[in-house]
Amino acid sequence: MKPILILGVVLIVLGIGGLIVPNISWTETETVAEIGPVEINADQEKNVWIPTAASIAAIVAGLGLVVAGRRAA
C-alpha cells in the first residue's frame, strides 16, 4: 500500500474515534506536601475534549487522501 493511502485510512479511523469518544479523562495524583515520612496527596482529574469539527475534518481529509492515492495508482 502507498503511504498516502495508509495516512488517509489512519485519519479516517482517528476521526471516527473522535466522534465516538468526544473526551478523554484521567486522574493524576499530585504530592501536595511532604513532611518527614508523611505525604499528603491530591487527586486531580484531567480532561481533553476532542472537537466534533476536528473529527469531521480528519474524516474528510482522510477520504481526500484515499481518493488522491487511488487516482495516483
* CA 68 to each of CA 5, 7, 20, 26, 58: distance values in angstroms, whole numbers, following the listed order: 8, 11, 26, 38, 15
How would you class 7 by CB atoms within 10 Å of its CB: exposed for 0-12, middle for 13-18, buried for 19 or more? Answer: middle
Q: Where are the domains of the chain?
A: 1-21+49-73
Residue pLDDT, tens place only, 42-65:
999 999 999 999 999 999 999 999
How confident is the model at residue 71, as a pLDDT? 84
23 — pLDDT class (breaks 50, 70, 90): very high
